[in-house]
Amino acid sequence: MAATGTAVSADSASTSTLGQDPPANAVVLFDGSGFDAWKPFSWQWINPKDDQQEVQWKMVDGDAMEIAFELDGKRRKQFLCTKQTFGSYRLHLEFQLPEEGSGNSGIFFGPLYELQVLHSADKERPGLGDCGAIYQIRAPDVNAALGPGEWQTVDLEYQAAEIGKNGFMTENGAARVTVRLNGKLIHDDFKLSLRRNKYAAFPEEPTSPIVLQEHGSKVRFRNIWVVEKTSPLANTK
C-alpha cells in the first residue's frame, strides 16, 4: 500500500489485500471472535440518549459481522463505533454488499468523514455519493467498486489534523487521507480542509473513533484492524 504522501498513479495495478493478516503491532478491532472492541455509537439523531447497551449487530459465517435493524423484535437504528479512539492510523477493513438493495453503509474515520459504501460498481464515473467517495466532499479518482456478494477491501491511511488552541484544526495542519479500494488508489494524500458533510458538527478532537454506519442494508464487515501512527494520543473513552 502506498504510504500517505507518496504519489501513485490512479491507474496503477491493483494489489489485493483480501484476507491480509494484521501485523504484530496492529490493534485488532474485529476478527470474528466478538464485539469486545465495539459499542453503540451516540451522536445527535443517532442514539441521542446514549442508552443502547447491547450491540444488536449479528455474527455470521464465523468471521464476519452483519448489520441488524432490530432488537427483541423492535426496530432500532444502530451505528457501531470503536471503544478506543485513534489519532493517525492505517486501517484495513473488508466488506460485502447484500444481493438485494442498495448496499448503503459507510465507514467513518477522523471526526466523521465518511467513506461511502454503496452498490455503484456499474457507474462509469462515480460521484460524491458513490462507493469509495468521501461523502459529499470528494469523488473517487476511479471506480474500483465490486458488485454485491463479493468481498471488498478498504486500506485507508489517515493523518489526523493539528488542533489549534481554539479547538479547531489549523489550515496548514489539516487532516489528510489516502485510500485504496480493492487495491486501487482512489484518494491520494487528499487534504481534508473542508468538513461539509452532514456530520461536520461532530467535535474536532485529537483522537476519534472509527464508526460503521447502518443505512438500511445488511452490509457485512470482517477482518478489521488498525496500525496506529501516533500511539501516545490514543485513548479509551
- CA–CA separation, 45 and 81 (whole Å): 15
- CA–CA separation, 172 and 92 (whole Å): 27
Residue 212 is placed in which grid cell? 460503521
Please, are residues 209 and 203 in contact by the beta-carbon 8 Å criterion? Answer: no
Q: Which of 168, 167, 161 is nearest to 191 (CA)?
A: 161
- CA–CA separation, 31 and 213 (whole Å): 19
- CA–CA separation, 137 and 177 (whole Å): 12
Helix (H, G, I), strand (E, B) or coil at 64: strand
Q: In this predicted structure, what is the pLDDT of residue 59?
A: 97
Q: In this predicted structure, what is the pLDDT of residue 146?
A: 97
- CA–CA separation, 183 and 95 (whole Å): 14
Residue in this structure with the C-alpha cell 496500525, named with its chain if needed = 227
Q: What is the CATH number of domain 84-231?
A: 2.60.120.560
- CA–CA separation, 99 and 114 (whole Å): 23
Domain chopping of the chain, boundaries: 84-231
- CA–CA separation, 155 and 147 (whole Å): 18
Between the alpha carbon of residue 204 and those of residues 55, 69, 169, the distances in Å are 26, 29, 7
DSSP state of 140: -
- Looking at the chain, the number of H-run helices and the number of E-run strands are 0, 17
CB atoms near residue 104 (< 10 Å): 18
What DSSP line would sit under 1-62, residue for residue? Answer: -PPTT----TTSPP---TTPPPPTT-EEEESSS-STTEEE--BTTBSTT----S---EEETT
Q: What are phi and psi of 55, to 5 degrees?
A: -80, 120
Cα-based angle 70, 113, 51 (whole degrees, multiple of 5): 35
- The per-residue pLDDT string of the chain (237 residues; one tens digit each, 9 = 90 and over) reads 333 333 333 444 568 899 999 999 999 999 999 999 999 999 999 999 999 999 999 999 999 999 999 999 999 999 999 999 999 999 999 999 999 888 999 999 999 999 999 999 999 999 999 999 999 999 999 999 999 999 999 999 999 998 877 766 676 888 999 999 999 999 999 999 777 778 888 888 889 999 999 999 999 999 999 999 964 334 444
Q: In this predicted structure, what is the pLDDT of residue 14?
A: 67
Give the burial class of 100: count Cβ atoms within 10 A of its Cβ; 0-12 exposed, 13-18 middle, 19 or more buried: exposed
